[in-house]
Structure formats: structure tokens, C-alpha cells
Amino acid sequence: MWNETDLAGASRFVRNTTQRVAIAVLSSAMAVSAAGQDAPASTANVPDPLQPPATVAAPQRGPAFAQVTPAPGNTAVEQLLGFKDSDVKFRLRDLMEILRDRRHEGWVLAAYPDPKTALPLVGAGFSLNLPERDHPQTDLLNPHPFLEPSSAELWQAAGLDPNRLQSILAQYKKRMATWSKRGFRKKIMTLTPEITDDEAMLLLRVAAIQAIYNARGYCRDFDRLSASQQMALSQMVYQMGVNLRHFNQFLDLINNRVAAGEAGAVSLVRSDFSANVDYWKTVQQSLVQSQWARLYRARAVAVIAMLDPKYVEGPGVAEQRVGAMLRPAVMQRRAGRASANQSGTHSGASGKGRSVGSARTGRLGRQKKRGV
């Protein structure tokens, strides 16, 4: 657990960083796409702003945290709206600030096309036209179900007018027919806002809660994870959605289902689950070896580092360790010019890209040393 000094430093760091990237958010969002709300058929160097439930700040009141009454009989939405701060070991607001950062989802207040699927997105990569999907729980030892409401249901769960959603989608369809995906994306920075900041925060909040809820479905021992480990898994679900199920080795490891004698496997002592350094290094290596990590290096480094049991002692150091495990970007020469095969964006298995910015390493550690 963090002490009050650690938490104060982390909180200031997040606020200052958010202000510095505000100008760059729109341009970076040109490569973003809807996190964790994947298309049905398609495929954080951030200091750990975490704190235990006992010291979680009271939810901010106002438009971004308005109380919403779900439609009668909508069980999925009722479960999402039943979220409590004490359900996780980190603060929901901090996860939201990370996700809207340019290194993750970005922030656009008008509908824009996903770079791969051309599906409409808004805010921090919120998908606007996905249907309700069936996502069965295949782990017989995990009783926690998955929830995959439609975009329209999540929009209403955020307290927004359904007619506005239809109007935004109609306008999006006209623009796509006129501009094409490429032309549309070139105009992202000039689009007139179709929702407000507060409304985008409402959408981000309900989508982040859905990611947290489904993260429990992927990990039997979610409640035994540390705060940073819970946040890392929630971010992966937000980005990849149902496609996280294809990360078989990673899921086998976090659920302690590795077959005896499997190469590179580390036996897990259940009483030491979240603090077992060797075990979590093996979990990290399973992600480092993935195509996701190689293609979207910057975000992968930030997220994978959060799985380190020693992350809170030095986020920058944890990220450096992960960076050292990842292969560097492959250099390609085209027309006499060298270019790094390392995209500044990533779309994950779901085809929803995120903007990835420069690394922020070591600053929290320096603050802690100064007693900030």
C-alpha cells in the first residue's frame, strides 16, 4: 500500500502531466480507437496513482459523476451502475485520467472513424454503434460473468439522450460517404464538438467500469491482485475487450493454470500471489513476447510494468525493466530514408487504435525521494 506522501506525489504528477498533454490530445487521437469495445468480427508509462479502498477519495459530484437510473429490466446496466469505489484497490477517476491521456485513448469530442474498422468512436475511444454481444464465461472455476451491452445501452447508462446518439450516427454516416475514412481522419482536428467534456467523461466512466467488471471474468483472483496489477488488467480489457481471450498463455498464468513442467513456468505460492516477483516476471514475459507488445511498444511497456509487484517503489524503474525485455523497433529503409517500424498508435486485436506518447519515467521516484 502507498503511504500518504506517495499518494500525494502521484496525484500531483497525474494532474501536471494531464495539463501538459492537453494540447497534444486531439492530434494523437487521430490514431485512437474504441478501447475494450471491439468490433464483433475484428480482432501505461503512467505513475501508479493508486490507493487502497480505505483511503479512496469520495466520488466527485457533478455532470461527470451523475446518478443514472437504468431502464427497467436492463440487468447488465444495473450491474455496471452498481459499481462502488471499494470494488477495486485503485481510484476509478485515476484510471479514467490515464485512459484519456494521449499515450492511451486520446480525447475527441466528435465522432471519428476507427483507423482499422472505420467504426464511429467518440471521447476516449468510445464505440458508438456496437450491438449487444454474447460473451460466455469458459473458465469453469470462475463464477464471474462478462457483460457486453450495446453502445446504445452504455450511452443511456451514461445518462445521455438516445436521440442525440442517432443524430450523431446519421451525421457520421453522411461524412463517411462524402470524405471516405482517410479523408475523415484528416479532418479530425477541425471537427465541431458533438458532445461536451462532461458527457465524454460520463461515457468514459461507464466504459471503464465495464472494463473493470470484465477484468474479474478474466482473472479468478482479481481481488487478490495489487492495485497496480488490477489497473493493468483493467486497461488491457478496456483496450482489447473480448479479444483478450486470445492471450492464452497470459490468462493461464494469471489463473495459475500452467501445466507442470511447462518451459519457463514458475510455480505460484497462493499465499504470496500478488507479491511473488519471479511469478509476475513470467507473466510479464508472456506479454512481452506478444505481437501486441511489439507493435504498440510504448503503451505495452506502461501497462506491463504495472504488473511488477515492486511497481509502487519506482514506476520508472519498473518500466525500464520491461523496456529492456522488449525487442527494439525494427529499422526499415525506404527510398533512402530509415524509418522505425514502431507505430505511434496501436489498434490491438479489436482494431481499436490508441495514441501512444513519449515515456514518462522516473519522475514519481524523484518526487518520493524529495519527500513530495
Residue 245 carries which DSSP code?
A: G
pLDDT, residue 137, reads 95
pTM of this prediction?
0.70
Domain ranges of the chain: 4-245+343-370
What's the pLDDT score for residue 13? 44
Residue 195: φ, ψ to 5°: -135, 165
Taking only the tens place, the pLDDT of each residue in 16-63 is 444 444 434 344 444 444 444 554 433 333 334 444 333 333 334 334
Cα atoms in the 13 Å half-sphere on the side-chain side of 46: 32
- Residue 310 in contact with residue 278, Cβ under 8 Å? no
Q: What are phi and psi of 164, to 5 degrees?
A: -65, -40
Q: What share of the chain is helix, strand, coil (3-state, %, to 5)?
A: 50, 5, 45
**Could you give the CA distance from residue 326 to residue 59 in angstroms, rounded to a whole number?**
38
**Average pLDDT in the 201-224 region?**
96
pLDDT at 64 over 50: no
Res 369: pLDDT: 38
Is 90 exceeded by the pLDDT of residue 212?
Answer: yes
Predicted local confidence at residue 115, as pLDDT? 82
Among 138-152, 235-249, 271-285, 340-354, name the one with the lowest average pLDDT. 340-354
Which of 252, 311, 253, 310 has the alpha carbon at shortest distance from 282?
A: 253
Banded pLDDT at 330 (limits 50, 70, 90): low
* 290 pLDDT higher than 80: yes
Mean pLDDT of the region 168-185 = 95
CA dihedral 360, 365, 371, 372 (to 10 degrees): 20
Dihedral sign for Cα 74, 350, 234, 21, please.
negative
